[in-house]
Amino acid sequence: MQNHNPKSLEEIKKFRKPLRNINIERKQKLKRLDKLALWITNHVGTMGFFIIIFIWTALWLGWNAMAPPAMRFDPFPAFVLWLFLSNMIQIFLMPLIMIGQNLQSQHSEARAEADFDVNTKAENEIETILMHLENQNKLMLQILQHIEKAK
């Protein structure tokens, strides 16, 4: 980042960088697996996912605890198959969620950097506008003084 305060409109135009839509830029750079990790991260942390897991667990445990003994496939009270499947889901979800969170963090950092660029640009333009207004005030005072002397 340059530490340059433009003093004229020409200088502003010369140093002006076009505004970027960081959301579009980041989305275009994502690979398919990154998109999958983000999709999983965004959906696992919802109430919908919680409800699905809760219902699946309640049905599984309820069936295997109360169904006729010949129809049970995961014996009460151990529920070994349910524990195995639940652990497998957790093992696969944890790294995917961490990957998604890393990608979200990188996106947040890029957005913060883009915001900083916009804020710096706005600050430079405001300073230039204020400088031009001060010059206009000086010119108006000079004109008023010239008019008063001419009276």
Output the DSSP codes for 75-98. Answer: -TTT-HHHHHHHHHHHHHHHHHHH
**pLDDT value at residue 1:** 44
Q: Which residue has the tokens 């963090």?
A: 105
**pLDDT value at residue 7:** 59
**pLDDT value at residue 9:** 66
pLDDT at 8 over 70: no
84-140: pLDDT as tens digits: 999 999 999 999 899 999 999 999 999 999 899 889 888 988 998 999 999 999 999
| Six token digits for residue 129 | 């506008």
Q: Which is more confident, 128 or 20?
A: 128
Give the closest residue to 100 by CA, choosing from 41, 51, 54.
41
